[in-house]
Amino acid sequence: MYQAGIYCRVSVEEQDKESEYSNSIHSQIQMARDYIAEQNDVAEIKIYADDGFSGSNFERTEFRRMLADIELGTIDMVIFKDISRLGREHIDTNYYIGKYFPEKRIRVVSILDNYDSAVSTYDELLEIKTLLNDMYLRDTSRKIKITIQAKRSMGEYTPKQPPYGYIKSETIHNHLEIDSYAAEIVKRIYRMYRNGAGCSVISRTLNEDQIPCPAKYKKEVLKNGYAWNVGKGLWTPATVRGILKNPVYTGAVVIRKHERPSYKLKYRKAIPLEEMELVPDAHEAIISKEEFTQVQQIRQGRQVPYFDRNKEPHKYVGLLFCGKCKTAMRKRYLASHNNFDGYMCGFHQKMGQNYCELNHITFEKLDELVVFAINQQLKQMRTDLKKLEVQIWQRKPELDGKIARLQAKTERNTEYRKRAYEQFMDDILSKEEYLELKQIYDNENRQYQKELSILKNEEQKQQETVNQTKIWLEHFNRRKLTEKQLTRDVLVELIDKIYVYPDQKIDIYFKFAMNDDSPDVILQKGGVM
């Protein structure tokens, strides 16, 4: 008797769709139970339902719980509606279907795909479907982006939560109206900054006056469903800074604030204010354009990086952040030594222990951990490159075979269509019969061409990855980096950001290994975790 787990998933976009028979969790469960009822050797053990999760990654709560139960031996069978419920990302989906589940001896049933691993193998048609799902995900992401940008270009404010100082209109869709109380606080912030107060002073003053911070105000005063449940409800310099640089207060709508390197990544890169595309006069302004411009000029004049004694920026400037509060780390000065000894949380340094705990790391320890991490990453890159080259070499005959078969099918259909036309001209086939055959051959050829395109794109992407990695490794041609070689140029070239935690554990995100939103290397005093 198979011990079956039913896996269901609905994305946020699918939740918003209304149809008589949708991909709802309920319908997916019922379909799986109908399947089980027809079997004599399958028992339902657990249901795993990821409600509101994208198929672009596999870091889902219920999916991870299912894997844990597989490891424990609780279930030995997984049932889902179709392959897209498992995931829409091609590589990872194929990994679980083609490698992980077979190795764990898990029977897999995809109902609508007519796939049962107990009676059939994971064939190329199912693999192609995962590629099509991946393409669907990419296309959906693109369409959503275009739709949102189109709405914003017409002056609509599309984010669910309005910025502090505004509320959403109840009569005009996606239109902002001024919240008189919060708007006065915004004006006060701009006025204080123009009069010489910094973000730290402004935030401390607002806290002393017991002004609720934006998150607390939205949840407890406006009660608009804002999901704030963390923090102490205090103003911070970062919050003030965000208000000071937001052009929405001039009555403008920003078409695009961030850009994402890939639809699969959570990581977003902020677009500089001067490069943002704005739609002016979309709603009533709280701050005049002249005042906003003046504030930006003041901000620019106050942005001074930390310098070493040689007048050069210290090598970790812009790369080092507190892992607890995400604030930039600052150099720590010890009066007893009359010198700087390392870095500490900038928030703690400026605001005190009530805002963030003491988080400190010495220059020596940081350099030691970072050098070790870089060397480990370079070593891993060389290893991964060799593995990828071997995989490409091993798979090339199979890939070439698939391409050749699809090309042969296309040529065969072209010939069949030609013969059908000749038979039509010789009055062997009627016009209706010819047109029907022509449509069949044309439809099949379009599908073959789509599959060919997917296969060729996959081959091209793999080779591009190899070529780019080789170029990068040749550019950074060091077998082993030393602490003396750890210059700012090296750090800026290699590292996107470093998070430091109170136990001196660090998370490092490398520029050349941006596969997901997780740190590429995690280190602490003893070395790699």
Tens digit of pLDDT for each residue in 271-325? 666 677 788 888 999 999 999 999 988 887 665 445 544 445 578 877 888 888 8
Helix and strand counts by DSSP (H, E) for the chain: 16, 19
Domains in the chain, CATH or no CATH each: 2-134 (3.40.50.1390), 154-302 (3.90.1750.20)
* Percent of the chain residues topping a pLDDT of 90: 12
Give the tokens for residue 61: 């709560």
Give the tokens for residue 483: 């602490």
Check residues 56 and 45 and name the one with the higher pLDDT.
45
Lookup result for tokens 């400026």? 350
How far CA 99 is from CA of 49, 72, 104, 121, in Å, comes to: 23, 18, 9, 12
Which residues are bridge partners to 528 per DSSP? 523
Q: How confident is the model at residue 215 (pLDDT cuts 50, 70, 90)?
A: confident
Rounded distance between C-alpha atoms, residue 218 and residue 216, angstroms = 6
How far CA 248 is from CA of 152, 169, 202, in Å, comes to: 12, 15, 20
Does residue 89 register a pLDDT over 70?
no
Cβ–Cβ under 8 Å, residues 79 and 117: no
- Please count the CA atoms within 13 angstroms of the CA of 187 that sit on its side-chain side: 12
Lookup result for tokens 């354009």? 289
The winner for highest mean pLDDT among 187-196, 213-222, 400-409 is 187-196
- For residues 180, 186, 189, 190, the Cα torsion angle rounded to the nearest 10 degrees is -110
At 443-495, the pLDDT tens digits run 888 888 888 888 887 777 777 767 766 766 665 555 567 777 788 877 887 78
How far CA 220 is from CA of 4, 81, 112, 164, 228, in Å, comes to: 45, 42, 47, 13, 9
The winner for highest mean pLDDT among 88-102, 132-146, 302-316 is 88-102
Cβ–Cβ under 8 Å, residues 39 and 56: no
Cβ-proximal residues to 313 (8 Å cutoff; 6+ apart), any chain:
305, 306, 307, 488
Among 46-55, 120-129, 409-418, 492-501, name the one with the lowest average pLDDT. Answer: 120-129
- Amino acid 227: pLDDT: 54
Check residues 487 and 69 and name the one with the higher pLDDT.
69
Rounded distance between C-alpha atoms, residue 345 and residue 382, angstroms = 35
Mean pLDDT, the chain, whole residue set: 76
Q: How confident is the model at residue 232 (pLDDT cuts 50, 70, 90)?
A: low
Q: How confident is the model at residue 262 (pLDDT cuts 50, 70, 90)?
A: very low
Please provide the distance, in angstroms rounded to a whole number, between the alpha carbons at the two ends of the chain.
40
Rounded distance between C-alpha atoms, residue 12 and residue 297, angstroms = 40
Rounded distance between C-alpha atoms, residue 76 and residue 108, angstroms = 9
Cβ-proximal residues to 457 (8 Å cutoff; 6+ apart), any chain:
none
Mean predicted confidence (pLDDT) in 220-239: 70
DSSP 19-49: -SS-S-HHHHHHHHHHHHHT-SSEEEEEEEE
Rounded distance between C-alpha atoms, residue 24 and residue 18, angstroms = 10
At 371-396, the pLDDT tens digits run 888 787 777 777 777 777 777 777 77
Does residue 42 register a pLDDT over 90?
yes
